[in-house]
Amino acid sequence: MKDLFAKIYKDKGPLGKWASQAEGYFVFPKLEGEISNRMKFQGKDVITWSINDYLGLANNPEVRKVDAEAAAAYGSAYPMGARMMSGHTDLHEQLQNELAEFVGKEASYLLNFGYQGMVSTVDALVSKDDIIVYDVDSHACIIDGVRLHMGKRFTFKHNDIESLEKNLERATKMAEQTGGGILVISEGVFGMRGEQGKLKEIVALKKKYNFRLFVDDAHGFGTLGATGAGAGQEQGVQDEIDVYFATFAKSMASTGAFIAADKEIIDYLKYNLRSQMFAKSLQMQLVVGALKRLDMLRTMPELKQNLWKIVNALQSGLKERGFDIGSTQSCVTPVYLKGSIPEAMALVKDLRENHGIFCSIVVYPVIPKGLILLRMIPTASHTLQDVEETLEAFSAIRTRLEDGTYKRVSAKLMELMGE
Of the candidates 273, 264, 156, the one whose C-alpha atom is nearest the C-alpha of residue 209 is 156
Per CB under 6 A, the list member of 161, 192, 249, 411 interacting with ligand PLP is 249
Told to check if 115 binds ligand PLP by CB under 6 A, we report yes
Radius of gyration of the chain (CA): 22
Count of C-beta atoms within a 10 Å radius of residue 162: 10
218 contributes a contact to ligand PLP by CB under 6 A: yes
113 lies in the binding site for ligand PLP (CB under 6 A): yes
Question: Closer CB to ligand PLP, residue 87 or residue 220?
Answer: 220
The edge-to-edge listing of strands for the beta sheet with 243-247 is: 107-111, 257-261, 243-247, 212-216, 182-187, 131-135, 153-156
CB nearer ligand PLP, residue 187 or residue 350: 187
Report in angstroms the alpha-carbon separations of 349 from 7, 101, 361, 377, 410. 32, 45, 11, 19, 11
Q: How far is residue 30 CA from its own chain's centroid?
A: 20
Q: Fill in the amino acid letter for 155.
A: T
**Residue 240 gets which letter from DSSP?**
G
Q: How far is the CB of 230 from ligand PLP (least distance, A)?
A: 12
Q: Which of 114, 145, 225, 378 binds ligand PLP (CB under 6 A)?
A: 114
Q: Among 83, 92, 105, 139, which residue sits at the site for ligand PLP (rule: CB under 6 A)?
A: 139
In terms of CB distance, is 254 or 340 closer to ligand PLP? Answer: 254
Q: Which stretch binds ligand PLP (CB under 6 A): 31-39, 100-108, 109-117, 343-351?
A: 109-117
- Asked if 193 interacts with ligand PLP (CB under 6 A), we say no
State the minimum distance, in angstroms, from the CB of residue 138 to ligand PLP: 8
What gap in Å lies between CA 244 and CA 364, rounded to an integer? 31
Nearer to ligand PLP, 51 or 397 (CB): 51
Kindly indicate which of the ranges 78-86, 114-122, 265-273, 354-362 contains the residues binding ligand PLP, using the contact rule CB under 6 A: 114-122
Identity at 234, one-letter amino acid code: E
Q: Please name the helix (run of DSSP H) or strand (run of DSSP E) that holds residue 261, with its range, or none.
A: strand 257-261
- Residue 187 Cβ vs ligand PLP, minimum distance, rounded to whole Å: 6
- Select the span of 82-90, 108-116, 226-234, 352-360 touching ligand PLP (CB under 6 A): 108-116
Question: Pattern 265-304, binding to ligand PLP, x per CB under 6 A?
Answer: ----------------------------------------
User: What does residue 402 show for φ and ψ, rounded to 5 degrees?
Assistant: -75, -30
Q: Among 46, 103, 257, 290, which residue sits at the site for ligand PLP (rule: CB under 6 A)?
A: 257
Beta strands in 262-351 (DSSP E): 333-338
Q: Which residue is nearest to ligand PLP (CB)?
A: 114
Q: Which of 103, 107, 118, 269 binds ligand PLP (CB under 6 A)?
A: 118
Name the β-bridge partners of 109: 259
Residue 177: alpha-carbon gap to chain centroid: 36
Tally of CB atoms within 10 A around 397? 22
Give the β-pairing of 357-358 and 44-48. Answer: parallel
Among 130, 135, 187, 350, binds ligand PLP (CB under 6 A): 187
**Shortest Cβ 208–ligand PLP spacing (Å):** 27
Annotate each residue in 68-107 with x if it binds ligand PLP (CB under 6 A) or - if it does not, as one string: ----------------------------------------
Query: Exposed/middle/buried for 338, CB within 10 Å: 0-12, 13-18, 19+?
Result: exposed
CB-nearer residue toward ligand PLP: 29 or 356:
29
- For residue 62, the number of C-alpha atoms closer than 13 Å in the C-beta half-sphere is 10
For the purposes of burial, counting CB atoms within 10 Å of the CB of 59, is it exposed (0-12), middle (13-18) or buried (19 or more)?
Answer: middle
Site of interaction with ligand PLP (CB under 6 A): 113-115, 118, 139, 141, 187, 191, 216, 218, 247, 249, 257
